Amino acid sequence: MEEKEITQYALIKRYGVSPGQITRMKRNESVSTHTIEMFCKILSCRVEDIMEYVEE
């Protein structure tokens, strides 16, 4: 988000992202593939740019 200069406020107001989705992403909690796709479209990035798989 910093690289694209998009704030949380802009995600919520301009793009209609719910605050809960942002919170779940920041806390590394489960999110839907729809949410991941939405963030990738908004930020013009790939899935690998915003998340990674870590085996527990």
What is the percentage of the chain residues whose pLDDT exceeds 70?
A: 100
CA distances from 38 to 5, 15, 55, 56 (A): 17, 9, 24, 26
pLDDT at 42: 92
The structural domain count of the chain equals 1
- Residue 39 lies inside a defined structural domain of this protein: yes
Domain residues for the domain of 12 are: 8-46
**Mean pLDDT of the region 21-48:** 91
pLDDT at 51: 85
pLDDT at 50: 85
- Residue 51 lies inside a defined structural domain of this protein: no
pLDDT at 28: 86
- Residue 25 lies inside a defined structural domain of this protein: yes
- Residue 54 lies inside a defined structural domain of this protein: no
- Residue 26 lies inside a defined structural domain of this protein: yes
Tell me the pTM: 0.75
- Residue 52 lies inside a defined structural domain of this protein: no
